[in-house]
Structures are given as C-alpha cells and as structure tokens.
Amino acid sequence: MSFRINSTDPTDQEALRALFTELLGEYGDGAEIRPPFHCDYGSQTTWGARSFANFGLVVLDVARVRVGEDVQMGPRVQLLTATHPLEPGPRRDKWESAEPIVIGDNVWLGGGVIVCPGVTIGDDTVVGAGSVVTKDLPSGVVAVGSPARVVREL
C-alpha cells in the first residue's frame, strides 16, 4: 500500500485520501499526509481530523499510534513504536516488542523529530526540529533537544 501511496500524483488529494483511508485504522476529515510515507502496518495508526504531515513521515506501528486532531508535523518525522532487548542474546535472536505512541491534539512536531516507543505528547505542545522525544511530554510546553527537554510553558 505504501508503494501505491508513494506512486500517486501528490496533487491528487482525492486518490491519496482514499488510499490513506484504506490503509490506516482511522484517517480523519481534512487530514493530509504528503508522500513519501512509510509504515509497518497502517491499521495500527489512527490519524486525527485536520492533522498534517509533511514529506517523509515514517510510522513504525508495531504497537498503536494515535495522532490527535489539528496536529502539524514537519518533514521527515519518525514515530517509532518498535523496541529491542538490550541483552545481546535476545537481540541476536531478533526479539522485538513495541510500546504505543500517543500524540495529543494541536501538537506541532518540527522537521526531523523522532518520537520513541511508549511516549505520550500532551495537547498543545511544540517539539523543536531535530528533537528526540524519549519520555512523555506534558501539555502546553515547548521541548527541544536530544533527548527532548521542556524549555518553557506556553
């Protein structure tokens, strides 16, 4: 399905909407994801109304990914639910697990943001470009850096 999405004329919003509606667990009214787009399953991801992602979104949805309403994402954002053991043996045996990601309403993720497994980002929060979010972020803050840290309240 990602191949079909990424092969569709990016100006054909009607065709893209139909493909994303078929692929994702939910694709809200007025939502837009600009190709290229890559995911593991699609059905594990819900995408809220009027939410937008710029080019190059990667969603490793081994676990559930919930994107709220009115979310804005810059180019090359990564939402990564997959995780692997730290111990060498199980990692060598290719063990994998996953933890869900929740992005609240009216969140802005700048270009290149990486959201790690198990993270929840609260409503109205802004995450600066290039940040790596390794822990939950509360509502109504600005967070930046690697790892992302809160620098001020909104």
Q: Which of 4, 84, 91, 135 is catalytic?
A: 84
The per-residue pLDDT for 144 is 98
For 17-64, give the DSSP string. HHHHHHHSSEE-TT-EEPSPEEES-STTEEE-TT-EE-TTEEEE-SS-
Residue spans of the domains in the chain: they are 2-153
- In this prediction the pTM is 0.95
The per-residue pLDDT for 51 is 98
| CA–CA separation, 88 and 108 (whole Å) | 37
List, for residues 97-128, the tens digit of each pLDDT value. 999 999 999 999 999 999 999 999 999 999 99
Question: What is the CATH number assigned to the segment(s) 2-153?
Answer: 2.160.10.10
Contacts of 81 (CB under 8 A, 6+ apart): 44, 60, 61, 62, 63, 64, 65, 98, 99, 100, 101, 117, 118
Catalytic: 38? no
